[in-house]
């Protein structure tokens, strides 16, 4: 036994690519693994301007759920629950269940809603995965969707004095822009650092779009768009992300005025913060044994997800806590991860998280992030999963971590494996 261990040690030194124990364990295949057999998203388009601007949230859901039903080669009667990650839509429960039925799923397919702000899409994935693990259901769909064109974000509602006068809870009255400035001020994230980070996001998104990297992520959908001048409706095919600004540089971003001059250091701008966007993404989940029984092609697997809390005033740095936590729970090291999809709510938090965690910038958002593509709140957590699996296939790599900061002071992170 000792000789075998010594041989393994020698081989590990000779082969620096030999996998760590945590990574090797994750790459094993077991019948009870929660696997993903379909993953796709709509294009992400600018709120109030893009191709999805006149598409209500329920029509967006119906369009994508119909595509999942048609393209997944799965009997829809096997889908027992659909969990919608959504933040802004009124009447979410009515809308979710009704959209499932209108998309052609049988009356036996249930629906629920997950809302944890920017992590809602990932929370929906976790909710379905947990139900499957617990034996409550065998097959489910997680879908994240947001129509920021038709469901505006009005911020915090009127809250109790017990909240507003509380030292921590009262911080939740601070607008998101203020929390970005808080991060920049507290951790010394300069305007130049933020613009450089944002420029890299745009440049990567431009390359990915021009080279067609995201074609296997995006399913085109037919939508009706009203002419802004005449109001005349016309049908168009929404098939590409429209927030990518070609030719963006750190210097061009440096010319944009501060978005929040009332809060110092006033380094956040319309060019180095996430865009307000419409979009949806969906993931079909089941156990590996079920997928094999049904002849479903396995794209990847869901390993784990976790949540953390922190001061609401610096909510942006949530991933810097959530990522180490989920790595610890899965036995992974930072270097075991091939791709990090970290939501770029603001460049301030993006710069901080990458530096704090010592991440290789080349592994972080290789196709660009929310600064270039947009951040439809409830969609993002599911969209990152679709993007990460596609990018792992492109690179012929295996492990991805997705993460985002969460309004009111939280951070979430998940671990996924590609099985291409």
Q: Which residues are marked as active site? A: 118, 375, 405
**3 state SS of 17:** coil
Which residues, in sequence order, are bridge partners of residue 288?
A: none
Hey, which residues does 271 pair with through a beta bridge?
A: none
Taking the C-alpha atoms of residue 323 and residue 340, their distance in angstroms, rounded to an integer, is 10
- Beta strand 233-238 with 221-226 is antiparallel
- Are 48 and 82 in contact by the 8 Å Cβ rule? The answer is no
Among left, alpha and beta (phi > 0; psi -120 to 50; other), residue 234 is beta
> How open is the CA angle 272-278-281, to the nearest 5 degrees?
105
CB 392 within 8 Å of CB 300? yes
CB atoms within 10 A of CB 295: 9
Which tokens hold the place of 197?
A: 């980070």
- What's the per-residue H, E or C state across 352-366? HHHHHHCCCHHHECC
Q: CB neighbours (10 Å) of residue 261?
A: 9
Tokens of 243: 């927030």
Token representation of residue 25:
């364990």
For residue 69, with 0-12 CB atoms within 10 Å meaning exposed, 13-18 middle and 19 or more buried, which class applies? buried
């Amino acid at each position: 036994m000792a000789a075998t261990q010594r041989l393994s040690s020698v081989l590990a030194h000779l082969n620096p690519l030999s996998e760590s124990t945590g990574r090797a364990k994750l790459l094993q295949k077991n019948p009870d693994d929660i696997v993903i057999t379909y993953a796709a998203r709509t294009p992400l388009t600018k709120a109030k301007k893009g191709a999805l601007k006149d598409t209500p949230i329920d029509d967006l859901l119906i369009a994508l759920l119909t595509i999942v039903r048609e393209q997944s080669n799965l009997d829809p009667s096997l889908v027992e629950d659909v969990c919608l990650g959504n933040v802004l839509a009124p009447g979410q429960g009515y809308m979710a269940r009704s959209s499932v039925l209108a998309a052609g799923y049988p009356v036996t397919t249930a629906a629920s809603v997950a809302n944890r702000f920017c992590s809602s899409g990932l929370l929906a994935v976790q909710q379905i995965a947990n139900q499957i693990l617990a034996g409550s259901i065998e097959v489910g769909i997680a879908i994240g969707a947001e129509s920021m064109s038709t469901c505006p974000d009005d911020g915090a509602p009127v809250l109790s004095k017990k909240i507003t006068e509380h030292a921590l809870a009262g911080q939740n009255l601070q607008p998101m822009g203020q929390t970005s400035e808080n991060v920049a001020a507290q951790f010394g994230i300069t305007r130049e650092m933020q613009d450089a980070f944002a420029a890299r996001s745009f440049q990567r998104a431009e390359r990915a779009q021009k080279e067609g990297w995201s074609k296997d992520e995006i399913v085109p959908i037919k939508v009706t768009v009203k002419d802004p001048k005449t109001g005349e409706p016309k049908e168009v095919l929404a098939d590409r992300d429209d927030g990518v600004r070609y030719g963006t540089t750190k210097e061009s971003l440096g010319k944009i005025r501060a978005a929040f001059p009332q809060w110092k250091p006033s380094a956040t701008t319309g060019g180095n913060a996430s865009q307000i966007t419409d979009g949806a993404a969906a993931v079909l989940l089941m156990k590996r044994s079920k997928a094999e029984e049904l002849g479903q092609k396995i794209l990847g697997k869901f390993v784990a997800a976790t949540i953390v809390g922190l001061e609401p005033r610096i909510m942006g740095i949530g991933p810097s806590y959530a990522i180490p936590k989920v790595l610890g729970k899965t036995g992974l090291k930072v270097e075991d991860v091939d791709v990090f999809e970290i939501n770029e709510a603001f460049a301030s938090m993006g710069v901080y998280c990458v530096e704090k965690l010592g991440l290789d910038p080349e592994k972080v958002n290789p196709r660009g992030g929310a600064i270039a593509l947009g951040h439809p709140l409830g969609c993002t957590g599911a969209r990152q999963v679709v993007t990460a699996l596609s990018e792992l296939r492109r690179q012929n790599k295996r492990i991805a971590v997705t993460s985002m900061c969460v309004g009111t002071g939280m951070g979430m992170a998940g671990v996924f494996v590609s099985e291409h």
